[in-house]
Structures are given as C-alpha cells and as structure tokens.
Amino acid sequence: MTEPPHPDIATRRLLADARGVAEAAGILRAGGTVAFPTETVYGLGADATSGEAVAKIYAAKDRPRFNPLIAHFPDAEAAAAHGVFNAAAHRLIATFWPGPLTIVAPLAAGSPISDLARAGLPTVGLRVPSHPIARALLRAVGRPVVAPSANRSGHVSPTSAAHVLADLNGRIDAVLDGGATQVGVESTIVACVDEWPRLLRVGGVPRADLEAVLGEPLAEAGDAIVAPGMLASHYAPAARLRLNARQVEPGEAALLFGDCDLPGVDQAMAAINLSARGDLAEAAANLFAALRDLDAAGASSIAVAPIPNEGLGEAIRDRLARAAAPRP
C-alpha cells in the first residue's frame, strides 16, 4: 500500500445542499478531486479536460493507467458533443439516459476529453447519471467530469460517503455526502463502436431490458473491444468468498438471499441477508455494504447463498465472482 499523497490533509465532507454542490463544483473546476453520489455507486470526480486533474484520480486510487475512465454529463445533449453515436447508441440513450447505462463510442472530433482519461483509446465511455445531486453538480461544473468508482483500485465500490472515506480519506479533496446510493452496482457498459452493440460489463440495467430495446441479443465483448478494468479479481474484500454455499462452515460469516436459511447459519460469525423477500434490486443495493460489514466482522471466509441469474441477479453474481477470484 502506498502512502497518501497528503497524509496531513484530511478530506472534507460536504453536505449535499446547494452550497455544498457549489463548493464541490468549484473544487472540480479548479482541478481538484471530489467524490459524489450517483444512483449506482459513489464516483471520484475530476475535470475530464485536464490531464493534470485526471492524473490525481489515478494516484488517489492506485489505478493502473491503462484503465480508462467514464466521462459524466448532466444530460444527453451535453454528452452528444463527445461521442459519435450509431443507431443502436441512439436507441439505448433515448430509453436509458439518465440512468445506470454507460455507452462506449468513438470519440467525437474536437472533444477536449484528455488522452489520459481515455487511457489513449480512440473511444470514450459516456454516462448520464439519474441521481439529482450528481446532475446538479455536473450542471454546475459545465465540463465533462470523469468519475471511476471512489474506492482504491481492486477494492469494493462505495455506496456511502463513509465507504469513500474508509478508502480515500486524505487522498482526495472532498466528498459530497448524499446518503446511500439506490442501485448499488455499477452501470451497465455497452460498446457501440462497430455493427454489433457489445456488452462490456453487466450492471444496473439488466441485459434483458437492453435486448428488448435493441430487438436483438447483445454481442459479447470480443477481443477488439474490452473494458480494460474488468480484471478477474476485483471488488475484493479481505475475506475469501465461497459461492453457491449450501451450508455455513464453523468460523464462517454468511451472505444470504431470500427466505432460505443455510444450515449452520445460527453458528455464523456474522450473517447478512441481501433481501429476505428475495428482491434482486434490494439485494443489489445492499451488496457492497454487506461485503464491507462482513469483512469487518473478521471472518476469513464468507459463505454466499445462491443468487438467481435473472434481472439484476446477473450483475450481483458477476461482482461476487470477481470478489471470489484468486488474487494476483
């Protein structure tokens, strides 16, 4: 672990009222870093047009520089100046923006989004979040804002300001505290750069909803276009995860779903149910906080109950699989 760049300077916590939003916008316009809530997870924002500001994000997160960032906008009109949209992109945008969908498109000529933000790629990830605080902030900044999830690279994504500070206190200028996020998993990423719309990351918009709008199945990422950030081991808590567990072993913590109680759960070091009523949206919203809380309970292994592979369940299973993958 590297030392914070400014160990003596604590990150400021700003209330997400009109004054806090204006202050956060001022910091971003001056080239600083501010974490802010979106409907998916908290993002770590910086001015996308300033290579210097973007470099602070990579440093604060310890993020590899080959991993490009998503640029955020208050509305589709503002985003349109930065990407070249094909027919599929237009359809998806009309239905799902604002909302938890990122479109990867060829960079528009003349866009000032910095090379570093795109990790040198000829494409750019564009997103219009639906969170009212995020939109107010983006409107006030008046420039594209890059925002990866506001966690240390490889850690669990933050769904509250407290999660952000647990990872980044002293490493970023401020966090705009807008309470817990609603969706809880990151945006779905679709690449619209060749004739097939390709699903690069499952996320807040379920695959079936996208395919219903497109009228055809989504292609997989393929070799040419990938999201470089989708490393196998990611979203990793300190504890090991044991997926599709049928019982809880002695000394384990338990992550449950629905009304099924795994045998041995009464002996668990800690147990959290993502959604006792079996609601996948509720489970997604609770996922990352639950991983952090079970980690804090100190178990070295977490038994994870089976999660159905439908709707938001696909994104939940994806994040759990990455959290369970062998660490580099």
User: What φ, ψ does residue 161 adopt, rounded to 5°?
Assistant: -65, -35
State the Cα torsion 311-317-319-320 to the nearest 10°. 150
Q: For ligand TXA, give the closer residue by CB, 105 or 307.
A: 105
Rounded to whole angstroms, the Cα distance separating 205 from 220 reads 16
181: partner contacted, choices Mg ion, ligand TXA, none (Cβ within 5-8 A by kind): none
- The answer to whether the beta carbons of residues 214 and 91 sit under 8 Å apart is yes
Rounded to whole angstroms, the Cα distance separating 288 from 311 reads 18
Tell me the window of 68-76, 174-182, 258-266, 288-296 that interacts with ligand TXA (CB under 6 A). 68-76
Q: For ligand TXA, give the closer residue by CB, 127 or 143.
A: 127
Tell me the window of 33-41, 235-243, 248-256, 258-266 that interacts with ligand TXA (CB under 6 A). 33-41
Tell me the window of 26-34, 227-235, 296-304, 320-328 that interacts with ligand TXA (CB under 6 A). 227-235
147: partner contacted, choices ligand TXA, Mg ion, none (Cβ within 5-8 A by kind): ligand TXA
**Site residues for ligand TXA, window 148-167 (CB under 6 A)?**
148-149
Q: For ligand TXA, give the closer residue by CB, 121 or 243.
A: 121
- Which residue number is nearest to Mg ion in terms of Cβ? 149
- Which residue number is nearest to ligand TXA in terms of Cβ? 229
Tell me the window of 34-42, 173-181, 264-272, 320-328 that interacts with ligand TXA (CB under 6 A). 34-42
- The least distance separating Mg ion from the CB of residue 190, rounded to whole angstroms, comes to 17
- The least distance separating ligand TXA from the CB of residue 43, rounded to whole angstroms, comes to 3
The Cβ of residue 76 has, within 10 Å, a number of other Cβ atoms equal to: 16
Residues 6+ apart with CB under 8 A from 316: 185, 274, 280, 283, 284, 287, 307
- The least distance separating ligand TXA from the CB of residue 295, rounded to whole angstroms, comes to 19
SS3 percent helix, strand, coil of the chain, rounded to 5, is 30, 20, 50
β-strands 188-191, 198-201: how paired? antiparallel
**Site residues for ligand TXA, window 88-117 (CB under 6 A)?**
102, 104
Q: For Mg ion, give the closer residue by CB, 85 or 288.
A: 288
CB-neighbour burial class of residue 10 (10 A; exposed 0-12, middle 13-18, buried 19+): exposed
* 283 SS3 class: helix
Residue 167, both tokens? 């990872």
33: partner contacted, choices ligand TXA, Mg ion, none (Cβ within 5-8 A by kind): none
Q: Which helix (H) or strand (E) holds 70?
A: strand 70-72
**Site residues for Mg ion, window 124-183 (CB under 5 A)?**
149
Chain centroid offset of residue 56 CA: 18
Residues 6+ apart with CB under 8 A from 25: 137, 140, 141
236: partner contacted, choices ligand TXA, Mg ion, none (Cβ within 5-8 A by kind): none
Residues within the interface to ligand TXA (CB under 6 A): 38, 40-41, 43, 67-70, 102, 104, 118, 121, 123-125, 127, 147-149, 186-187, 189, 200, 227-230
Residues within the interface to Mg ion (CB under 5 A): 149
